[in-house]
Amino acid sequence: MAEFNPTNARAADLGPALRDEATKLADKSVSTGVEAAQAVGKAAESAAQALDQALPMLAGYVRNASQYTSQFADSLRDKKAEELLSTAVTWSRQQPLLTLAGAAVLGFALSRIAKVGIVGAADSASNGGTDNDVTADVWTGGPNAG
């Protein structure tokens, strides 16, 4: 017969507490994202107002981007992190090629950023930090692209 083990009981009690804390942290991150999206929307609207006289067509595009950003922030405001994750999973199942393409682009960008950090640190150490073209060369395939 199985004995009562207080360690197993404590571990079983710890699971729900960890899940609750993770949920709270994820929801806080969502609210931070909402605030950031709202700030971007407000900045874009200000930029559109500044462009109204000089470049009205560009101002219209910037204003549209501002509206979409504000709508995006409003749609996020009322959702919990679990709901957003569920939506993302459903979308990726419906659009597997776009999901893979996005992952490939993100992976490429991250690898280039990591390479810039490695190459930049090595070049900086070897020439006293005077090589300012490494970042541009990595993205454009220049002589320092490695």
For residue 135, give both structure tokens.
């970042």
Give the range among 64-68, 74-78, 109-113 with minimum mean pLDDT.
Answer: 74-78
* SS3 annotation, 47-106: HHHHHCCCCHHHHHHHHHHHHHHHHHHHHHHCCCHHHHHHHHHHHHHHCHHHHHHHHHHH
Q: Region 41-45: what's the mean pLDDT?
A: 86
**Reported confidence tier of residue 11, pLDDT bands at 50, 70, 90:** low
* pLDDT of res. 71: 83
Mind listing the pLDDT tens digit for each residue in 106-137? 888 888 888 777 666 666 556 555 545 544 45
Q: Region 101-108: what's the mean pLDDT?
A: 85
* pLDDT of res. 41: 84
CA within 13 Å, CB half, 117: 6
* pLDDT of res. 106: 82
* Rounded percentage of the chain residues whose pLDDT exceeds 90: 0
Whole-number Å distance between alpha carbons of 51 and 65: 14
* pLDDT of res. 138: 47
Give the range among 10-14, 51-55, 115-119 with minimum mean pLDDT.
Answer: 10-14
